Copies of this chain bind each other. A is one copy, B any other.
Amino acid sequence: MFKKVCIIGCGLIGSSIARAIRKNNLSSKIVSSNRSDSINKKVLELKIVDDSNSDTKKIVEESDLVIIATPLSSYEDVILKIKDSLKNGSILTDVGSVKTNVMNLVEKNVPKNVSWISSHPIAGTEESGPEAGFSELFENRWCILTPSKKASDKDIKILETFWKKMGSRVDIMDAVQHDYILSITSHIPHLIAYNVVNTTLNVQDKKESEVIKYSAGGLRDFTRIADSNPVMWRDIFIQNKKNTSNMIDNFIVNLEDLKKAIENEDGKKLEEIFTKTKKIRKEIVKAGQDVGKPDFGRK
C-alpha cells in the first residue's frame, strides 16, 4: 500500500500501528522517531520497525504516510520539525483524542502538497509504551477521520483503506462534533475515574489495605481506567477544556439530583434512573463494542 510509513512516537498506539502495518503488509518500510534513545532502541529490538532514531526531520523524508502519535502538547514541536521534510503528495495524520486546536495548528504549518487528515482510533488499554502495543488493537474498533479542507478525496480514501486494513471501521466527522462526542464517550469517563480514585486516596486515611481488599465491590474498574497515561490525559483535558468543563457541570447537576433523591429516600426516582441506564449496555454489546460476558469475562 505504501513504500514508507513513518510513525512519530511509538507508545501503545504508535507501536500497535507499526505491528498492524507489518502484519497486514501495508508498507515496504516502517520507520519511527522517538525523542528517547531507549525507545528507539526498544522498537528495533522488538523488530516492529526497520529504522528508528531521534532525528525526526531526517527520518520522515520520503515517507508516503507520516503518523504523529505523540501527546497532543508536543504537536507544535513535531510539526515545526517535520514540515520542510514532508514529501510532495504524501499524507500526514495523527492519532490524537482532541481535534479542534490541532486541526488549525497543523493546517497552518503543513505544505500545500501534503494532505493533512487527522485520525482518531477509538482503541487502547490502560498500558503505555512500545511493549504494550499489539497488532489487533484496532480490530472492530471505530476510527474517526477529520480531514482538513485541503485534503483530497483520493487521499481520504487511501487513509480510510489503511485503517480498514488494520481492522477498523471508519467514520468521517468534523472537529467540533468529534470533540463533543468524545468528551461524552471517553474524556468524561476518564476524568471521573481519575476523580473516583483520587477521592478514595484523599479519604482513606490509613485504610489503604481495606480499600484494596474490598475493591472488587466496584472500585477496581475505576482504578484500571485511572491507570492510563497521565501526560496523554493531561493534554486531552486541557485541549478539550470547554466540552470537558460543560460536561462536568452537567455531571454535577445530575449527581446533586441523585444525592437529593437519596437524602429524601425517593426510591421511586432512584429505581427509575437505575432502570433507564440499563438499556445502553445491551446496545453496546450488540454493536460489538464490548464483550457480552458478565464482569467482562474476568475470573
Residues of A within 8 A of B (CB): 73, 97, 122-127, 132, 136, 141-142, 144, 171, 181-182, 184-204, 207-208, 210-228, 230-231, 233-235, 237-238, 241, 244-245, 247-248, 250-252, 254-256, 258-259, 262-263, 265, 267, 270-271, 273-278, 280-281, 283-284, 287, 289-291, 294-299
Q: Is the CB of B280 within 8 A of A201?
A: yes
What residues on B are CB-neighbors of A231 within 8 Å? 271
**Which of B186, B189, B194, B215 sits near A258, CB closer than 8 Å?**
B194
- Shortest distance in angstroms between A49's beta carbon and chain B's nearest beta carbon? 22
- Shortest distance in angstroms between A225's beta carbon and chain B's nearest beta carbon? 6
Given A124-B217, A132-B294, list of 4 further CB < 8 A pairs?
A125-B295, A227-B281, A231-B271, A233-B274
**Which of B122, B126, B273 sits near A217, CB closer than 8 Å?**
B122
Q: Is the CB of B171 within 8 A of A213?
A: yes
Q: Is the CB of A277 within 8 A of B197?
A: yes
Q: Is the CB of B278 within 8 A of A262?
A: no
In the bound assembly, the distance between CA atoms of A200 and B185 in angstroms comes to 8
